[in-house]
């Protein structure tokens, strides 16, 4: 595995790759890697000969008071995991390499960035789009792979590619879960053993909500029951039941539904979702 810190060195290498007509897949991460990230790497390896994984904790997607300074740094473990997956390139840029002219951006994600997570983190998705756009400019991948756990982010990145008319295919992979159902997340490291047991009810509530909707309970009633149940244990930022294609309200012709939620438990913020095809009209 080759490790690059500078854009110029990485570009030289990737130009040599392209001269041999090899395609490139990018997996952007902030480190703290787990099996969810590795599933993205595995998909990238299925798509192309050359896989680039980046590790960069992006300051522009953190608001004041969030965990930028405390975000888990597990580089030695991350490096070993990527080597075990035969990743070709690990890109470890500095802030100066990513933002040589400062962090101001003229790209705004629009309304989709102001709902759900964006309502509580109003600058977050502009920061995500900003850093992903920079990685696309530097790496110029044919493919980029993202996880469906961050579902709103996934749709925003797809929109970015469309809006900028980029020749990049966005691939997504399902959420990887622990054996008990908890969605894998770097921030799970913040949970104590006792907290870890208690947050298992998060996924159970989402699963029960899907079951209720599939069995004829109205979306409104199922949503209200879910919020009431979660509120017994957690601070519920939001729980919505929406059209999975665009995160808008469900219509009669909606075929794919997403139950999507964010909760806070102590100092830890967790997100999760379930996407499913409905059996009948809801």
**Eight-state DSSP code of residue 110:** -
Number of neighbours of residue 175 by Cβ within 10 angstroms = 19
Active site residue 37: yes
State the Cα–Cα distance between residues 184 and 179, nearest whole angstrom. 10
Which residue of the set 34, 37, 101, 211 is catalytic?
37
∠ Cα 234 237 238 (to 5°): 110
Tokens of 71: 């975000």
Q: In what order do the strands lie in the sheet with 50-55?
A: 2-4, 89-91, 50-55, 24-29, 143-147, 169-173
State the Cα–Cα distance between residues 256 and 249, nearest whole angstrom. 12
Tokens of 193: 């053993």
DSSP string, 29-74: E-S---HHHHHHHHHHHHH-SEEEEEE---GGG--TTSSTTTS---
The distance from CA 90 to its chain's CA centroid, rounded to whole angstroms, is 19
Extract long-range pairs of 252-255: CB within 8 Å, 24+ residues apart.
252/281, 254/278
DSSP string, 193-215: HHHHHHTHHHHHHHHHHHHHHHT
Residues involved in catalysis:
37
């Amino acid at each position: 595995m080759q490790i690059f810190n500078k854009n110029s060195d990485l570009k030289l290498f990737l130009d040599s790759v392209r001269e041999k007509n090899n395609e490139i897949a990018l997996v952007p991460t902030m480190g703290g890697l787990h099996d969810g990230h590795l599933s993205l790497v595995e998909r990238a390896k299925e798509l192309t000969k050359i896989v680039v994984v980046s590790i960069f904790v992006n300051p522009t997607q953190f608001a004041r008071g969030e965990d930028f300074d405390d975000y888990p740094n597990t580089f030695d473990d991350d490096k070993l995991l990527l080597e075990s997956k035969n990743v070709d390139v690990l890109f470890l840029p500095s802030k100066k390499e990513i933002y040589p002219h400062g962090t101001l951006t003229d790209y705004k994600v629009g309304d989709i960035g102001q709902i759900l997570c964006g309502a509580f983190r109003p600058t977050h998705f502009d920061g995500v789009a900003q850093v992903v756009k920079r990685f696309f400019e530097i790496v110029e991948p044919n493919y980029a792979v993202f996880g469906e756990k961050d579902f709103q982010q996934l749709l925003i990145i797809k929109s970015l590619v469309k809006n900028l008319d980029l020749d990049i295919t966005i691939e997504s992979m399902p959420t990887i879960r622990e054996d008990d159902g908890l969605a894998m997340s770097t921030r799970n490291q913040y949970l104590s053993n006792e907290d870890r047991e208690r947050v298992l009810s998060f996924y159970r509530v989402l699963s029960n909500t899907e079951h209720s909707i599939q069995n004829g309970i109205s979306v409104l009633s199922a949503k209200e029951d879910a919020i009431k149940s979660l509120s017994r244990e957690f601070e519920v930022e939001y729980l919505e039941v929406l059209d999975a294609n665009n995160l808008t309200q469900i219509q009669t012709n909606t075929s794919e539904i997403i139950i999507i939620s964010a909760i806070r438990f102590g100092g830890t913020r967790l997100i999760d979702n379930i996407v499913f095809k409905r059996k009948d009209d809801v």
